[in-house]
């Protein structure tokens, strides 16, 4: 029984990690773009972005996942079944992609606010010093501002990323068998409670590794103060 449960949980954990990785890789650059939009001098775009961030941060991620899964069917009248057939894949995969899209949008909104805070916290003097040295705006951002932003946003980012690990459990609302749903199924099947604790141990281990990784990066960047 232990071996079967372990296999099921590992499969679920695979999906959890995949969702986590996809979200992180896509939401960080997207979040940077959103943060630029929220700082632009072009007022309509700025307000549009602020409303977007307000809506995304102000509503539950679970609601967003469900809404996204219903958009093709209700707005464009394309049944999800057809999407799956068109791409020659299973419904489970289509649902996983819906979950990914919702996570990416949601986390991009959160990240964008962290990035905005980080970018705006860099003193004006840094920009001016770069300017009088003849640097272009691109050089100023990538060589002067961004490295300092990375250091400043590390603590809030590590918070958000650890939250992301735990949020992946929301994928079950579309039937994605991530680790908690896998554990849940094992509990139903074998009528024992320990698979739930076993699943918790996976989260603990994963977040423990992330915590160590972040403190390592923090230490790496401690050679200077901003």
Partner 1 sequence: MAILEVKGLKKSFGANEVLKGIDFELNRGEVLAIIGSSGSGKTTLLRCLNFLETADEGTISVNGEVLFDGSAEAKQNAADIRKKRLHFGLVFQQFNLFPHYNAITNIKLAAELLGKEKSRRECAAIDAEAKAEKAAVRAAHKSQDAALKGENLPKDEFNAKKRALKASHRAELIELADKTAAKKTAVRERLFGDIDRRAQALLERVGLGDRAEAYPCELSGGQQQRIAIARALALSPDILCFDEPTSALDPELTGEVLKVIKGLKSGDSTMIVVTHEMEFARGVADKVIFMADGVIEEMGSPYQIFEAPQSEKTKAFLRKSREQNLGDEPFPDVAS
* Binding region for partner 1 (CB under 8 A): 123, 125-126, 128-137, 139, 143-144, 147-148, 151, 223-226
Minimum CB separation from partner 1 for residue 141, in Å? 13
Vertex 174: Cα angle to 170 and 178 (nearest 5) = 55
C-beta of 68 vs 130, nearer to partner 1: 130
C-beta of 76 vs 224, nearer to partner 1: 224
Minimum CB separation from partner 1 for residue 115, in Å? 17
Minimum CB separation from partner 1 for residue 120, in Å? 17
Minimum CB separation from partner 1 for residue 134, in Å? 5
For residue 225, the SS3 value is coil
Burial class (CB in 10 A: 0-12, 13-18, 19+), 193: exposed
Burial class (CB in 10 A: 0-12, 13-18, 19+), 88: exposed
44-67 burial code (b ≥16 CB/10 A, e <16): eeeeebeebbeebeeeebeebbee
C-beta of 84 vs 150, nearer to partner 1: 150
């Amino acid at each position: 029984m232990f071996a079967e449960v372990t296999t099921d949980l590992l499969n679920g954990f695979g999906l959890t990690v995949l969702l986590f990785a996809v979200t992180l890789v896509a939401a960080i650059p997207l979040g940077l773009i959103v943060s630029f939009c929220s700082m632009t001098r072009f007022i309509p775009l700025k307000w549009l972005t602020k409303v977007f961030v307000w809506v995304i941060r102000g509503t539950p991620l679970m609601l967003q996942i469900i809404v996204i899964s219903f958009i093709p069917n209700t707005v464009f009248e394309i049944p999800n079944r057809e999407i799956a057939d068109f791409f020659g894949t299973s419904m489970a995969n289509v649902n996983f992609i819906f979950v990914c899209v919702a996570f990416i949008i949601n986390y991009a909104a959160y990240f964008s606010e962290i990035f905005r805070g980080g970018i705006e916290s860099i003193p004006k003097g840094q920009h001016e010093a770069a300017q009088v040295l003849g640097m272009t705006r691109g050089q100023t951002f990538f060589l002067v501002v961004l490295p300092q932003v990375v250091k400043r946003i590390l603590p809030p980012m590590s918070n958000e990323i650890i939250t992301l690990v735990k949020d992946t459990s929301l994928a079950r609302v579309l039937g994605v068998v991530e680790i908690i749903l896998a554990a849940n199924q094992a509990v139903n099947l074998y009528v024992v409670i320990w698979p739930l604790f076993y699943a918790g141990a996976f989260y603990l281990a994963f977040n423990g590794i992330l915590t160590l990784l972040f403190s390592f990066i923090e230490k790496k960047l401690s050679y200077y103060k901003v």
